Amino acid sequence: MAERLANRLKELRAVRGLTQAELAERVGVTRKTVNTIENGVYSPSAMLAIKLAAALDVAVEALFWIQQ
């Protein structure tokens, strides 16, 4: 069965009142990158996943998980 990296990025970003551009700026990427991760089009590298989790002040596993 195919596995994919699911995330709660959009939800947690909204809770913290951040726009895609603001979050992108905090982790040093463009808004496009945040957009593709939120839409499940792109699975980020471990480094970017950790940066995103830190920017949202949550554990990485609370932000990303493997979906069967």
Partner 1 sequence: MADTSDAASAEQLSRRRARMLPVLAVLFVGQQASYFSGGGSADHPAGQVHVAAWLVLSVVILAALATGGGWIYSRKVRELANDEVTRVHRAHAFRAGFISSMGACIALYFVTQFRPLSGREAIHIIMTVGILVTLLWFAFLERRAHHDG
How would DSSP label each residue in 21-60?
HHHHHHHTS-HHHHHHHHTTS-PPPHHHHHHHHHHTTS-H
46: contact with partner 1 by CB under 8 A:
no
CA distance 62 to 55: 13
Q: Quick one: which of 6, 29, 54, 58 contacts partner 1 (CB under 8 A)?
A: 29
6 in contact with partner 1 (CB under 8 A): no
User: Applying CB under 8 A, which of residues 36, 54, 58, 60 lies at the interface with partner 1?
Assistant: 36
Decide whether 16 or 32 has the Cβ nearer to partner 1: 32
